Structure 1
Amino acid sequence: MSPVLLFAVSLDRAHLQLLRQRYYYATWKADGTRYMMLITREGCYLIDRKFTFRRVQLRFPRRGVQQGCFESHHLTLLDGEMIIDTVPETGEQKRRYLVYDLMMVNHQPKIKLPFHERWKLIDKEIIEPRTYDIKTNKYYRYDMEPFRVRKKDFWMLSAVGKVLNDFIPKLSHQADGLIFQGWDDPYIPHTHDGLLKWKYAHMNSVDFLFEIGEGNRQTMYLIDKGRNRKLEGAHVTFPDDQDPSNLSGKVIECSWNPKEQCWEFMRVRTDKPTPNGWHTYMKVMRSIEDNITQDIVLDEIAEIIRLPMYAERIKLETQALQHAARRR
C-alpha cells in the first residue's frame, strides 16, 4: 500500500500545448523530500512515499482560535515537501515544511475543489490560525518544534521570468526547476498529465534500482507492470569517492550526460522504495531529447500570456492583488 499522492510529469514539447489550453500558475521545484502530513487530535504525522508514519510534535489550532476556540485540527491531510534551508550568515541548516496542497480539512474532503480554492484554504485553515496562536499563546513553545511550516507560493505565468532570474537564485535551499499547476484542477491522485514539471537540463533525472553483479557488471531496473524491467545497455558513472558496490540494491537518482551518452549518479533515494516506472522513464527521455531550455520556456510563456484566456485573467487578478494591497 502507498499514499495516494499526486505526481507531476516531465515537460516536453507536446505538454507545452497544455499551457495554451488551460490556465496555469507556476512555482519553483524545490529539491526536497515529499511528505503528506496528517493532523489529528492525538498527534501530527509525516507520511512518506513508503507509507511510513512518523509522529512529530507540532500544534495546529483550528480556525476560530482568534475568537477563543482552542480546538486542534482532527483528520486534516496536507501535501507538501521538506526542504533544508541554509542560513547565509551562519551556515546553520534548518528544516522547513512547505505546504502546497490539501486534501481534507477536519474530515471534510476537499479534493474536488479547484486548486486555487484549496490553495487559499491553506492560509485560511492552517497558516492564519497557527500564526495567531504563535503570537498570542504563552503556554506552548512553538520554537521547540522540529521544523517550521509555511505555505508555498505560486505565481501567474507572467511572473515566471522573475521566478527564474530573481527568486530561485536567492533561495536558501536547492531548487531544480519549475512546477506548472492547473489553477482550476481538482486533486487527481497518482500521475497527473496536467501537472507539469520542468527541470534544468543537468537536473533532469530518473530513479533506478541499481545492482552490481559479477565482474562489477552494472544492472539498472525500472518498474513495468509491477515487475522490475532491466534497462538494456544502461551504464552509470560515479564520483571517485563513491563505491558503486555499496549502492547495490538501492534506488539511485541519475541524470543523463548527453556528451558521454551515459547516466551520472546524483544521490541515493532513501525516500523511495521502488524505481521510476517505465512510462515515467520514457517521458523523461522525451523531455531530455526535446531539450526545452530556460530560454525556450520563457519564449513560450511570453506568447502564452498574450492569449485572451490568460491576458484577461492576469489583468483581473493583478487588479485584485493591487486592491488587496491598498486595503492593508
Structure 2
Amino acid sequence: SGFPGCQPVSMDTENIKLLSEKPYRVSWKADGTRYMMLILKENEVYFIDRDNCVFEVSALRFPHRKDLKRHLVNTLLDGEMVIDKVNGLDIPRYLAYDIIKFEDCDVGKLEFYPVRLSCIDKEIVQPRHQAMKEGLIDKATEPFSVRLKQFWDITQAASLLSEKFSRMLSHEPDGLIFQPSKDHYVAGRCSEVLKWKPLSHNSVDFKLKIVTEEGDGLLRTKIGYLYVGGKDQPFAQMRYTSALKDLDNKIIECKFQDKQWIFMRERTDKSFPNSQNTALAVCNSILYPTTKEKLLNFIDQHRWTQNDQDLMPPPCSRSSQIVGSVSDEDHFSQEIMKELYNLTQFLNFKIQLK
C-alpha cells in the first residue's frame, strides 16, 4: 500500500534473539486503528491512514510549549485511535507512540527512548494539558483526546500481560510491541520492531474472493479464496460460511485454528491485504510459536543487560535542546520524507482550491 509508517514484524523463535542484542522497550499492543497525524499549522491537522487516504481533523489544537497562543507547525506523529469504555461511554483517544518530525526538525533520527518519547510528552501532550488549565482549549469541543502511549523496560512484559493490567486499560489489548530503545524511526517494514501475540490472536489480513466450484457429479460449492498483496494466485482457502456472505472482495482478518483459516472480522480500515512476506512470517509464528512462557523466560534469562552507566538515566534535556541537537546535515529516511513532502504539497494544493 506504500504506507510510510513503521511496520513491526511478528516475533518468532529466531528474531526473539534481538532482545538479547540491544536494549528494548515494551508496550501493550492495542487493537486500534493506525493513523499518522500531520500538524501543518493551526486549523490544518490531518490524519493519514493505512491506505494513504488523507482527511482533515477539525477542532484540534496543538499549542507551543513556550507560547501557548502559538500553534505547532510541520510536525508528524505516529499513533493509533482507540475507543475506550469509560462509565458506559465510548471515548475516542489518539495514542501517540512515536514522532518523526517536530517543527521541521527530523527528530525521527534520534533515539526512541528517552528522546522521542520525551518529545511527545513535553512538546505535544503537556502543552495541551496546560492550555486546558488556562482555558485556551475546551476539550469538550474536541473530537478526541491525545495521549502518550507509554513504553516500559522489557522486564515489565509480564505485568503488561497480567489480568490486572488488562482491567486497568479501557480498551482491549491483544499482545505486546517491542521497540528498540536507541534506534531511529524506520519507514515501512522494520525487522527490528517486534509484535508478539498469543497464538489465539495471531492473524493475517487477506483479500477474500468467493468462488463457486462445480463439476461433473459435484454439487455447486462456495469456497473462500484468500489472497495476499501482489499475488494473482490464492495464498490459501477457507470454508464458506454465512458470515462471509457480504464480504466478497473485502479485506478480512483470519486466524489459523484446527488446521484451517477461521474468519475473525472485516478490516474496514484497510483496502489492501498483508504482503506475502507478512503472511509467511505469521504462519511461521503459528507453526513455531513463541508462547507466553517462552517469551517471559527468554526475557528473564537472556535479555540485553544494561551497564552501570545506563542504570541511572541522565537528566532529561529541555525539549528545545533535544530537537535542536539534530544536525542540519542529518537527512531522515528518504522514503518517509518524500511521502511527507508529497502529502504536504497535496494538502496545500487542496487548500488553494478552497
Note whether the superposition's TM-score is higher than 0.5.
yes
Kindly state the Cα deviation for residue 310 of structure 1 after the two structures are TM-superposed.
3.1
- After superposition, where does 1:211-250 map in structure 2 within 5 Å? 211-214=209-212, 215-223=221-229, 226-232=230-236, 234-236=237-239, 242-250=242-250
Q: Show the counterpart of 1:44.
A: 45
Corresponding residue for residue 75 of structure 1: 74
Unaligned runs of 5+ in 2: 213-220, 317-354
**CA gap 1:228/1:286 in 2 versus in 1, 3 angstroms:** same
Aligned counterparts of 2:288 and 2:300: Cα–Cα separation in 1? 19
Secondary structure of 2:108 counterpart: coil
- Structure 2: how far apart are the matches of 1:281 and 1:122? 32
Structure 2 CA distance for aligned equivalents of residues 155 and 191 of structure 1: 23
| CA spacing shift, 1:147–1:285, aligned 2, 3 Å | same
The answer as to 2:107 corresponding to 1:110 is: yes
Q: What letter corresponds to residue 75 of structure 1 in structure 2?
A: N
Residue aligned with 1:108, SS? coil
Matched residue SS, 2:123: helix
What is the letter of the counterpart of residue 80 of structure 1?
A: G
**Shift in alpha-carbon separation, 1:312–1:216, aligned structure 2, 3 A:** farther
Structure 2: distance between partners of 1:160 and 1:61: 34
1:295 matched residue in structure 2: 293
1:186 to 184, 187, 195: 184
Name the counterpart of 1:60: 62
Identity of aligned residues (%): 37
Question: What does residue range 1-328 of structure 1 map to in structure 2 within 5 Å?
Answer: 2-41=2-41, 42-56=43-57, 57-65=59-67, 69-87=68-86, 90-116=87-113, 117-138=115-136, 140-165=137-162, 166-214=164-212, 215-223=221-229, 226-232=230-236, 234-236=237-239, 242-257=242-257, 259=258, 261-305=259-303, 309-310=305-306, 312=308, 315-317=311-313
Give 3-state SS (helix, strand or coil) of 2:161's partner.
helix
Q: 1:243: how far off?
A: 3.3
Cα RMSD (Å): 2.0
Change in 2 beyond 3 A, CA 1:236/1:310: farther
Q: Distance in 1 between matches of 2:181 and 2:120?
A: 15
- Would the aligned equivalents of 1:29 and 1:178 in 2 still touch at CA under 8 Å? yes
Gaps of 5+ in 1: 322-328
Question: Does the CA-based 8 Å contact 2:3-2:188 persist in structure 1?
Answer: no
Q: Measure the CA separation in 2 of the matches of 1:158 and 1:255.
A: 29
Q: Distance in 1 between matches of 2:251 and 2:62?
A: 35
In 2 relative to 1, CA 188–163 (structure 1 residues): closer, same or farther, beyond 3 Å?
Answer: same
Quick one: distance in 1 between partners of 2:15 and 2:167?
A: 26
Q: Is the 8 A contact 2:8 2:189 kept in 1?
A: yes
* Mapped contact 1:237–1:265 kept (Cα < 8 A): no
The alpha-carbon deviation at position 170 of structure 1 amounts to 2.6
Contact 1:61 1:130 in 2 (8 A): yes
> Take 2:135 and 2:315, find their aligned partners in 1: how far apart are those partners?
33
Q: What's the offset of the Cα at 1:202?
A: 0.8
Tell me how far 1:227 sits from its aligned partner: 3.8
Please list every run of at least 4 consecutive aligned residues from structure 1 whose deviation after the TM superposition is greater than 6 angstroms.
none
2:223–2:240 Cα contact (<8 Å) kept: no
Between the aligned partners of 1:33 and 1:236, the Cα distance in structure 2 is 28
Q: Look up the SS of the partner of 1:137 in the other structure.
A: coil
So what's the TM-score if we normalise by structure 2?
Answer: 0.81
What is the distance in 2 between the residues matched to 1:254 and 1:276? 11
